[in-house]
Structure 1
Amino acid sequence: MVAPLKPGDQYSLACSGGFTTDVTQAMYDLFACGGGPVFGFGDETTPLANLDYWGSDFSGNAGILGASGTYYPSIFGPNAYFNSQFHSLYAWRSVGNANYHAMQVNLRKRMSHGVQFDFNYTYSKSIDISSDAERIGAWSGLGGQVINSWAPNSLRAVSDYDITHQFNTNWIFEMPFGRGRWIGRNSHGAAEAIIGGWQLSGLARWTTGFPVSISNGATWPTNWQLGGDATQIGPAHPHTTLRPDGTVNLFPTDLPVTDIGLGPFRHDLPGESGNRNTIRGPGFAGLDLGLSKRWKMPFGESQNLLLRWEVFNVPNLKRFDVQTITTDISSSSFGAYSGMLTNPRVMQFALRYEF
């Protein structure tokens, strides 16, 4: 859209003032201006039309430093568009396509003989052209980004929230001690108060990991705002590792990232969109347990005193969230985690009187 610069010239299409030799960054800066409507207009439609047709934000800034008057590019004359990608500027749309297929297996035992449990397993695959993992992301889980609007299916891959395997189970086990049970069937008094009324319950979950895309970095191969995904040219072998410097990284060693084929990733060439969700992180695992003791009170059959001890994340497992890693292949902290899927072990006691 913007005419090529003459030697020594700079663009000044920026609301923050100053000049830049990068027209893409100048355009991005116009849309990144904070504090109110874009360019002072009350909606996006008007400034989008202005940029598309005239290449101007109508702020009165000269388009090029050193040129007399305004030097806004237009669709006619010497300042005509030369980069047609700017005819497609950022906009929200309810578009996209996705599909989900799964096999689910459930096994349930209703309470009998003091035992109850549920077990379910899901084998699934979700595919789309763009998505978010809901709890995190640039758009707070409200949507995704189509990097290349001319070829939206070029980044068709497994969804950001895709989980291949998932196991869930929960159970209640009334311990066979006390009156009417296998052990101490005829107990009463102090013996019954000690050995009777015990119950063990719990739930467990295990899943495979979320996928993640490696970012192309500060490069716009097919989109004026979004950098797209890096192109993977070799195996990366992710394995969450504690580095000697104390950081936790998705990769055991630093990965050389070059554009000459020496590493597993490279920057995109013009027109490329990269490869989406090619890396999998560690999955989730959790185990919660509860132990309770119930005493029947002598004031009535419906009155009980319940003491309960609950422990969350019993084995104190640590599972890092792959979607919080630094994905920019140009960053010195590439692969480093900043968030977790699990919480530290927590326990609590509760005393309840039922009537």
Structure 2
Amino acid sequence: LSGAVTDQVNVINPALKVPMVQSWSFGFQRELGADMAIEVRYMGNLATRAWSGSINYNETNIQENGMLQEFKLAQQNLQANLAANRGANFRYYGPGTGTSPLPITVAYFSAIPASRAGDPAVYSSSNFTNTSWVNALATQAPAPFTYAANLHSDATRRANAITAGLPGNFFLVNPDKRGGAWDLTNWGGSSYNAATVEVRRRFSKGLLVNSSYTFGKAMQYIWTSFRQMDGARGVSPYNITHAFKVNWLYELPVGKGRHFLTGSNAIVDGLLGGWAINGTGRIQSGSPFNIGNVRLIGMTRNELQSMVAVRKEPNFVYFLPQDVIDNTIKANNLSATSATGYGSLGVPSGRYIAPANNTGCVELHAGQCGGVRAMLYGPKFVRFDISAVKKIRVTERINVEFRGEFLNTFNNTNFIVGSAGNDTNSATNFSSSDFGKITAAYQDTSTTNDPGGRLVQFVLRINF
């Protein structure tokens, strides 16, 4: 620790245990004719006692100290003052004005004790008109924790509050270490369950095929707050629901030892014989992305998911319908001082994604008014890599192999919501004009030198 007030304390819980993962699987196999087999299997695992460092014993308290209730009064003050043409401020103007005293606020602003908070004359601070404070009182996305942080993050205001008679730890248990007191515990966990159907054909009559389809679900335990001790379970950001994979080898039945032209001479066999086609293919659900703690208006999560698709316009690519994009941007461009609570873009309508906090609900912890973490899946991933192989026998022990490899054969662009370089992605820029745009596609330049588009390479190999 450097001694700075912004320092954080990190501790390892003395009861910390080694995480445990239990895995299990079972399957059934059955022969399908002489050359094929089918297998159906279940796979699962359960991770318990996973390490989690998200337990903050020094989290901001706005409930027991009455701050949340005063925040709501400050909201009412702002609306009353706007209606009475007293300006965009949340001051108390006395009895009969529709406004209420704010003892905690004036203590931090001006070192005024609670006994004097009922005097309108003490509400002279310029902070009552400052947009940093006023904007937090927006009716459509109230931000009580921002309001509280503005109060206790300033050393002068903390000193004012103590002078006014409030305890130094009014908001934080340890106000001298505002970076948090983080405890590494075993409160994390996850689970995975999947069913797989696999069909295999051994190499016979020039054909080999392995294919599988997996339906799976990965879940994760999410710690939110001491005010929600049971936490919350949500879909893992690594979850892939559907995955079909296939690989094959097919030797063309032409040339010596094969069905057609089996007795051909060396020249004909050299041109037409010894060809094979092999490849791999994968079709799977798109990569998950998080839209955060939000409310869905006019639609369910499943309905929103069904809207996610690649929409190509002349200048941009989008993943949601235009009406959802436009109204979501409106719903997140807010004004604390307008009659509607929304900004110059206007009032949203129809289907849109809105902030969790609203006129009827203010959260003490994530998930009270919206979803803790709403996960959606991006556009599906489709890729086939196909090779053409030609073998020319030189002697019994030596042959020359020429390969033409067409990686991403069909040149399919696998769009991603987020960034190709991220392990996990999110789309939470709701107030931005860029919301809804797809700006990235699959590529893997750092490990496999895969640029994402079609890549053609030729290989010459001598086998002996």
User: Structure 1 length normalisation: TM-score?
Assistant: 0.68
Structure 1 residue 200 corresponds to structure 2 residue 200 = no
Classify the secondary structure of the residue corresponding to 1:193: helix
Any gaps of 5 or more consecutive residues in structure 1? 11-19, 30-54, 57-61, 131-145, 216-228
Structure 1 residue 286 corresponds to structure 2 residue 390 = no
Q: Which residue in 2 is equivalent to 1:78?
A: 166
Name the larger-Rg structure.
2
**Cα deviation per residue 1:101-147 (whole Å; 9 max; x = unaligned)?**
111111111212211110111011122234xxxxxxxxxxxxxxx44
8 Å contact from structure 2 (residues 401, 461) kept in 1: yes
8 Å contact from structure 2 (residues 279, 387) kept in 1: yes
CA gap of 1:192–1:86, structure 2 versus 1, over 3 A, is: farther
Structure 1 residue 304 corresponds to structure 2 residue 399 = yes
CA apart distance, 1:287: 0.8
8 Å contact from structure 1 (residues 123, 166) kept in 2: yes
Given residue 386 of structure 2, which amino acid in structure 1 is its aligned partner?
L
Identify the structure with bigger relative contact order (alpha carbons < 8 Å, sequence gap 6+).
2
8 Å contact from structure 1 (residues 119, 170) kept in 2: yes
1:323 and 1:90 map into 2 onto residues whose CA distance is 32
Given residue 312 of structure 2, which amino acid in structure 1 is its aligned partner?
L
CA apart distance, 1:187: 1.5
Identity of aligned residues (%): 25
Structure 1 residue 8 corresponds to structure 2 residue 78 = no
Equivalences for 1:142-291 in 2 at 5 Å?
Answer: 146-151=223-228, 155-215=232-292, 229-235=293-299, 236=304, 237-244=307-314, 246-253=315-322, 254-257=325-328, 258=331, 262=349, 263-269=351-357, 270-271=363-364, 273=366, 274-275=370-371, 276-291=373-388
2:311 and 2:283 map into 1 onto residues whose CA distance is 20
**Cα deviation per residue 1:324-350 (whole Å; 9 max; x = unaligned)?**
464222222112223213511111001
Given residue 124 of structure 1, which amino acid in structure 2 is its aligned partner?
G
CA RMSD of superposed structures (Å) = 3.5
Given residue 201 of structure 2, which amino acid in structure 1 is its aligned partner?
K
Q: Which residue in 2 is equivalent to 1:339?
A: 440
Classify the secondary structure of the residue corresponding to 2:125: coil
Q: How many residues align?
A: 281
CA gap of 1:295–1:152, structure 2 versus 1, over 3 A, is: farther
CA apart distance, 1:267: 1.0
1:91 and 1:338 map into 2 onto residues whose CA distance is 36
Q: Which residue in 2 is equivalent to 1:137?
A: none
**Cα deviation per residue 1:307-339 (whole Å; 9 max; x = unaligned)?**
100001111111211244642222221122232
Any gaps of 5 or more consecutive residues in structure 2? 1-59, 62-103, 110-123, 137-143, 333-346, 358-362, 420-425, 444-451
Equivalences for 1:1-40 in 2 at 5 Å?
Answer: 4=105, 5-6=108-109, 8=125
**Cα deviation per residue 1:28-65 (whole Å; 9 max; x = unaligned)?**
99xxxxxxxxxxxxxxxxxxxxxxxxx78xxxxx7127
Q: Which residue in 1 is equivalent to 2:195?
A: 103
**Cα deviation per residue 1:1-34 (whole Å; 9 max; x = unaligned)?**
6963325377xxxxxxxxx7689679999xxxxx
- Determine which of 113, 116, 119 is the counterpart of 2:205: 113
Classify the secondary structure of the residue corresponding to 1:309: strand
CA gap of 1:302–1:91, structure 2 versus 1, over 3 A, is: farther
Structure with the larger strand share: 2
2:209 and 2:147 map into 1 onto residues whose CA distance is 60
CA apart distance, 1:86: 8.3
